[in-house]
């Protein structure tokens, strides 16, 4: 008897190999996969400007990095005594515009380098809903918890979404035409928009992504949303908020991602890294005990033996 609906993602032709470099952008699912790849010691650039959900906001971020269009004070929004970079996540705010601009342009350099060097680019869209600042009609990446009266909410049509996704690819091709782009739609439900509205938003994102992937051989789709909705499809796989996938769900989706995207020959290396990482995370009760000192010596030898085989990986 089956208790799950089977889903076997198509294995990618251009898999993540030993020398891959990954840039992960978009919603918190990009952060989740990026963190896992980083755990296994791939060179990974993960959301330099924080979690961003909306295709137009992701496109604007990529455009700024590709053209190296630095942030200036004109790009900041002042509310009271605080300055905000509304294009990006709400962590980019402060009472010193100089400090904020230094931080923003440092992250911009990090993103540009990540895009230039990436062999694989993971882009995860979260919602087709977005916001514009009323006073300027600027598309914002995040409302920074400012009064909602300052913004207009809108829903992009499938045609507008597809156009934004395609323009993002055009921009990426200008600086790195060889990177494979892995599109996903976040399995996190945006229930603040409403249940029906979230379903409409996700449907339009999925339809638009498939239109783009069908026309570009250097792009692929990974069904993270479908795995959550149609394979796991049970609240025991959610956090207490009933919105975000829990650790067990993330593990299942990661296993599918590995099968689809990562070279099978790397499985022994990943298992060895996992063992070392878990050993390094061990916290003993008695740090000065003979047993713990022997454990540390054994761990040091394991790392040394591993790095003889994989000298570019550092712990």
Question: Residues 269, 42: contact at Cβ < 8 Å?
Answer: no
Residue 315 has pLDDT above 90, yes or no: no
Tokens in use for 275? 């063992």
Q: Write down the pLDDT at residue 59.
A: 97
As a whole-number percent, the residues of the chain with pLDDT over 70 amount to 99
Residue range 194-210, pLDDT digits in tens = 999 999 999 999 999 99
Mean pLDDT of the chain: 93
What pLDDT sits at residue 31? 93
Position 118 scores a pLDDT of: 97
Which pairs with CB-CB distance under 8 Å and at least 24 residues apart come from 108-113? 108/48, 108/64, 108/65, 108/68, 108/70, 108/71, 110/45, 110/48, 111/23, 111/45, 111/48, 111/49, 111/61, 111/65, 112/65, 112/66, 112/68, 112/175, 113/45
Question: CA-to-CA distance for 280 and 269, rounded, in angstroms?
Answer: 16
Q: Please name the residues in contact with 223: beta carbons below 8 A apart, sequence gap of 6 or more.
A: 7, 9, 184, 256
> Per-residue pLDDT averaged across 271-285, rounded?
88
Tell me the mean pLDDT in the region 122-139.
Answer: 95
- pLDDT value of position 3: 67
């Amino acid at each position: 008897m089956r208790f799950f609906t089977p889903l076997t993602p198509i294995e990618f032709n251009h898999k993540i190999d030993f020398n891959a470099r990954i840039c992960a952008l978009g919603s918190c699912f990009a952060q989740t996969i990026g963190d896992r790849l980083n755990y296994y010691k791939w060179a990974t650039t993960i959301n330099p400007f924080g979690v961003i959900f909306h295709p137009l906001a992701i496109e604007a971020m990529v455009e700024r990095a590709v053209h190296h269009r630095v942030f200036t004070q004109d790009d900041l929004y002042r509310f009271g005594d605080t300055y905000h970079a509304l294009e990006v996540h709400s962590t980019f705010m402060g009472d010193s515009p100089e400090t904020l601009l230094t931080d923003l342009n440092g992250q911009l350099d990090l993103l540009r380098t990540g895009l230039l060097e990436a062999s694989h680019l993971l882009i995860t869209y979260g919602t087709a809903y977005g916001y514009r600042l009323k006073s300027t009609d600027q598309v914002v990446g995040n409302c920074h918890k400012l009064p909602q009266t300052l913004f207009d909410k809108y829903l992009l049509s499938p045609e507008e979404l597809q156009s934004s996704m395609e323009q993002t690819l055009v921009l990426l091709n200008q600086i790195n035409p060889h990177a494979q782009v892995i599109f996903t739609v976040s399995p996190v439900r945006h229930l603040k928009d409403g249940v029906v509205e979230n379903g409409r938003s996700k449907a339009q994102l999925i339809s638009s992504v498939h239109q783009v992937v069908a026309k570009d051989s250097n792009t692929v789709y990974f069904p993270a949303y479908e795995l959550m909705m149609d394979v796991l499809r049970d609240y025991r796989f959610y956090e207490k908020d009933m919105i975000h996938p829990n650790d067990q769900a993330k593990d299942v989706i990661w296993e599918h991602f590995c099968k689809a995207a990562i070279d099978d020959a790397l499985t022994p290396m990943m298992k060895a890294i996992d063992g070392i990482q878990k050993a390094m995370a061990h916290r003993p009760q008695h740090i000065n005990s003979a047993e713990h000192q022997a454990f540390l010596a054994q761990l040091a030898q394991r790392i040394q033996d591993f790095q003889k085989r994989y000298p570019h990986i550092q712990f």
